[in-house]
């Protein structure tokens, strides 16, 4: 019993609910299908007990599956690390450079952001990933990126097995009419009488698994290169966006400032070691970070405060003229609104005629903004923001973006 207690921490069993989500269900199903079919096809094509090559092939296939699942579950259950509820910096003066989160009732540490899905402030938040049903952040960034690398490599190996199995099993059964093409396949056609029969259902399963493997290789491989690009610059996806907005702000107002990203240590290897370590535990405590020699701990948070202030100035007040139920792809709001819905997990907010919205960004058919709430809701930390159809609102004829209710509505969590 003591051994079981050492393996399973009963107080963390509630984390298993993360598996009950469409993301992990699909991801684990793809891993399960590709691994199972690859193992069965290896038995048909390259029986591991017949040769050293077959044994190596089979062991590598099992190792891919184990490593993929190990990094996947660590990324999911280790989690990104969260800022303690009610956190405050040791120096009270530092609160002037930090944003306050009403939901967590504490200050946001440098590089942390509040995740609406996790409902917590996440250390060094990169993004909320639906495939692991958790955030990718400080503690699990290495596990998540390793999963993104291993999944395509395992799928490439599995795809090779699928192709060779189908070719060798169908070589003598189907005539393609290629009389002038002669290919010596004797080295890889292991047996005319495989251990398991290759039936029509086996062919269909192999073909389906091949499609999954190729699709996963392309999609997940692209995500891996995106992640490595930001890791080698010691950034997160959110910080890339913050840096772009900093340059736009400086260019728009012609302030003459020079914004230096504070966490880029100057070398790719130094940046790489901030995430990947031999122990598996990333560098730092998730609150204080090594910074560029020309910067300090609050260089980025000060820039964020400037951007929030600029955002409030640029926000435009709209009045709701048409009800909207919050549907992702509303049918009754026009065909173009239906097909041009934003491709993002950010929420849609229902609207009622007469309400007021402060819009901060948008497209031709959709807008994103904050709904003006009652004073009691604002003081309680409530906030409703998200996307809504542009046709449901009209611009107010007066500018009240800097009025007191707007300021209350515009403060970030």
Tell me the pLDDT tens digit for each residue of 84-108.
999 999 999 999 999 999 889 999 9
- In a domain, residue 149? The reply is yes
Q: What is the pLDDT of residues 172-181, one digit of tens each?
A: 555 444 444 4
- For residue 150, the enclosing domain spans 9-80+141-173+185-231
- In a domain, residue 169? The reply is yes
- In a domain, residue 122? The reply is no
Q: Which residues contact 216 (CB under 8 A, 6 or more apart)?
A: 30, 34, 151, 152, 155
Residue 2 burial (CB count, 10 A) = 5
Residue 400 sits in a domain of what CATH number? 2.30.30.40
pLDDT over 70 (residue 405) = no
- In a domain, residue 61? The reply is yes
pLDDT over 80 (residue 400) = no
Q: What is the pLDDT of residues 277-320, one digit of tens each?
A: 988 889 889 999 999 999 999 999 999 999 999 888 888 999 99
Residues 63 and 164 occupy one common structural domain = yes
Residues 153 and 25 occupy one common structural domain = yes
* C-alpha–C-alpha distance, residues 201 and 181, integer Å: 29
Q: Which of 200, 216, 231 is the last residue of a domain?
A: 231
Q: What is the pLDDT of residues 326-371, one digit of tens each?
A: 999 898 899 999 999 988 878 899 999 999 999 988 889 999 999 9
> H helices of 8-51, where?
22-45
pLDDT over 80 (residue 411) = no
Phi-psi domain of 355 (left: phi exceeds 0; alpha: psi -120 through 50; beta: other): beta
Q: Residues of the chain with pLDDT > 90: what percent?
A: 64
pLDDT at 392: 95
Give the chain's largest Cα–Cα span. Answer: 83
Residues 222 and 323 occupy one common structural domain = no
Task: State the sign of the Cα–Cα–Cα–Cα dihedral 61, 66, 69, 70.
Answer: negative
SS3 174: coil
> H helices of 232-279, where?
237-253, 268-273
Q: Average pLDDT of 246-262?
A: 90
pLDDT at 145: 97
* C-alpha–C-alpha distance, residues 243 and 300, integer Å: 9
* C-alpha–C-alpha distance, residues 211 and 402, integer Å: 54
Residues 322 and 220 occupy one common structural domain = no
- In a domain, residue 378? The reply is yes
- In a domain, residue 55? The reply is yes
Residue 298 burial (CB count, 10 A) = 18
* C-alpha–C-alpha distance, residues 163 and 111, integer Å: 46
User: Of 366, 379, 372, nearest to 317 (Cα)?
Assistant: 372
Residues 320 and 224 occupy one common structural domain = no
Q: Say what the pTM is.
A: 0.82
Q: Which of 231, 247, 264 is the last residue of a domain?
A: 231
404 neighbors 306 (Cβ within 8 angstroms): no
Residues 221 and 340 occupy one common structural domain = no
pLDDT over 90 (residue 270) = yes
User: Of 398, 382, 245, 389, nearest to 327 (Cα)?
Assistant: 389
> Is 129 tagged catalytic?
yes
Residues 46 and 153 occupy one common structural domain = yes
* C-alpha–C-alpha distance, residues 194 and 46, integer Å: 9
User: Of 347, 310, 284, nearest to 111 (Cα)?
Assistant: 284
pLDDT over 90 (residue 404) = no
Which residue in 34, 101, 115, 129 is the catalytic one?
129
158 neighbors 152 (Cβ within 8 angstroms): no
Q: What is the pLDDT of residues 122-172, one digit of tens each?
A: 999 999 999 999 999 999 999 999 999 999 999 999 999 999 988 888 765
- In a domain, residue 63? The reply is yes
Residues 223 and 323 occupy one common structural domain = no
pLDDT at 377: 62
Residues 220 and 320 occupy one common structural domain = no
- In a domain, residue 56? The reply is yes
Mean pLDDT of the chain: 86
Residues 323 and 221 occupy one common structural domain = no
How far apart, in Å, are the Cα atoms of 316 and each of 3, 59, 147, 359, 392? 61, 61, 42, 5, 15
287 neighbors 111 (Cβ within 8 angstroms): no
pLDDT at 384: 85
Q: Which two tokens stand for residue 3?
A: 């051994």
Q: Which two tokens stand for residue 20?
A: 């009950």
Q: What is the pLDDT of residues 198-209, one digit of tens each?
A: 788 889 999 999
Q: Which of 51-65, 148-162, 232-246, 392-406 has the lowest mean pLDDT?
A: 392-406
How many domains would you assign to the chain?
A: 2
């Amino acid at each position: 019993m003591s051994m079981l207690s050492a393996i399973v921490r009963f107080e963390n069993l509630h984390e298993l609910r993360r598996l009950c989500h469409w993301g992990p269900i699909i991801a684990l199903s793809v891993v399960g299908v590709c691994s199972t079919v690859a193992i069965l096809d290896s038995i048909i094509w390259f029986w591991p007990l017949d040769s050293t090559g077959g044994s190596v092939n089979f062991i590598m296939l099992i190792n891919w599956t184990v490593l993929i699942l190990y990094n996947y579950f660590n990324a999911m259950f280790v989690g990104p690390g969260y800022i303690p509820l009610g956190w405050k910096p040791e120096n009270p003066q530092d609160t002037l450079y930090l944003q306050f989160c009403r939901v967590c009732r504490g200050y946001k540490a440098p590089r942390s952001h509040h995740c609406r899905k996790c409902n917590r402030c996440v250390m060094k938040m990169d993004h909320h990933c639906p495939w692991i049903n958790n955030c990718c952040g400080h503690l699990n960034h290495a596990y998540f990126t390793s999963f993104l690398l291993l999944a395509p490599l395992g799928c490439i190996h599995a795809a090779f097995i699928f192709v060779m199995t189908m070719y060798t099993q169908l070589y003598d059964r189907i005539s393609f009419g290629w009389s002038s093409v002669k290919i010596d396949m004797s080295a890889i056609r292991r047996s005319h009488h495989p251990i398991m029969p290759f039936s029509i259902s086996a062919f269909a399963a192999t073909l389906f698994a091949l499609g999954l493997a190729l699709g996963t290789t392309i999609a997940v491989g692209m995500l891996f290169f995106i992640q490595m690009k930001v890791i080698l610059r010691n950034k997160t996806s959110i910080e890339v966006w913050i840096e772009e907005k900093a340059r736009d702000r400086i260019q728009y107002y012609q302030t003459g400032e020079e914004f230096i990203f504070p966490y880029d240590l100057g070398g790719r290897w130094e940046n790489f070691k901030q995430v990947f370590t031999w122990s598996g535990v990333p560098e730092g405590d998730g609150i204080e970070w090594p910074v560029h020699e020309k910067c300090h701990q609050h260089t980025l948070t000060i820039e964020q405060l400037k951007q929030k202030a600029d955002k409030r100035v640029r926000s435009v007040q709209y009045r709701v003229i048409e009800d909207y139920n919050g549907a992702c792809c509303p049918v009754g709001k026009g065909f173009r609104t239906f097909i041009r819905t934003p491709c993002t997990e950010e929420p849609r907010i229902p609207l009622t005629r007469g309400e007021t919205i402060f819009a901060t960004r948008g497209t031709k058919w959709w807008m994103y903004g904050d709904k003006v709430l009652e004073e009691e809701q604002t003081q309680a930390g409530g906030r409703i923001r998200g996307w809504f159809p542009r046709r449901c609102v009209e611009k107010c004829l007066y500018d009240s973006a800097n009025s007191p209710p707007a300021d209350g509505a515009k403060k970030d969590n």
